[in-house]
Amino acid sequence: MQKFLSLLSLVLFIPILAVAQSSEHVPFPSTPTFPPIPLSTPTPKANPNNNKAELKAKTNLRFRYDKFTGMSGWETKLVTVWKPSFAFQFVVDPYVELKVQAFAGKGEETVMGCGLYFYSQSKSWYYLDNSTLAVLANGNRYSFEGKQEGTVGGGLVYEHIFVLIPCDTLSTILKSDPLEMRLGSTEFKVKDKNLKELRMILPVLSN
């Protein structure tokens, strides 16, 4: 009887151990279409969607709508802000791209928030422990905490970092020249041609 109880306890324990071990390797969630609205939202601004057709005609902005969350907004094209030299591509440094987003709440009534979205490809995790964004704009210093998510595939690590920034502050930053940033430990200066692309969203931010 004692041997039977010992065998039974072992049989019950093995599945529990397997579940505990498998739970240690949970993959990162996929990046949402738009960042979640923070509990403390910025002051709502005028609806930028009223002049949707005009903005599409005059800029390279992209309008997005997520039918599952009801969120909508504008975003710029991705621009490359940092890339490693060809000899060390993906080995030492990440490949980083950036775009600006302005998103609205349900019903497209008001702009609820703005921010910078960074997309990184590399051989290892770069922003898992440090996704702080430091900005030097016209001599003014800013610091923001980023929200990092990531996935692994094809031998590369793909990281997504969204940095929520008040719309007025983001507008001031984008108008600055020169504009320097440090994401985690990656430092770069935003080139003039990329600044021009990112500034296309300024009419949305100023509404």
pLDDT on residue 88: 56
Domain extents for the chain? 45-205
Each residue's pLDDT expressed in tens, for the chain with a length of 207 residues: 544 444 334 333 333 333 333 333 233 333 444 444 333 333 334 444 556 566 655 668 888 887 787 778 889 999 999 987 665 555 567 889 999 998 876 555 567 789 999 999 988 899 999 999 999 999 999 999 999 999 999 888 999 999 999 999 999 999 999 999 999 999 999 999 999 999 999 988 875
Phi then psi dihedrals of residue 128, to 5 deg: -65, -45
CB atoms within 10 A of CB 116: 24
- In order of 24, 64, 89, 141, the CA distances from 118 in angstroms are 27, 17, 18, 19
- The Cα diameter of the chain in Å comes to 83
Which residue, chain included where needed, has tokens 């900005």? 135
Q: Token digits for 60?
A: 């390279």
Peptide bond into 178 cis (omega under 30): yes
**89 Cβ neighbours under 8 A, 6+ residues apart:** 83, 95
pLDDT on residue 168: 92
Q: Measure the CA–CA gap between 44 and 97, rounded to whole angstroms.
A: 28
Residues in the chain: 207
Host H or E run for residue 36: none
pLDDT on residue 27: 31
Q: Token digits for 56?
A: 């599409």
Q: Measure the CA–CA gap between 73 and 88, rounded to whole angstroms.
A: 37
Closest by CA to 73, choosing from 110, 98, 118, is: 110
* Pairing outcome for strands 62-66 and 71-75: antiparallel
pLDDT on residue 37: 38
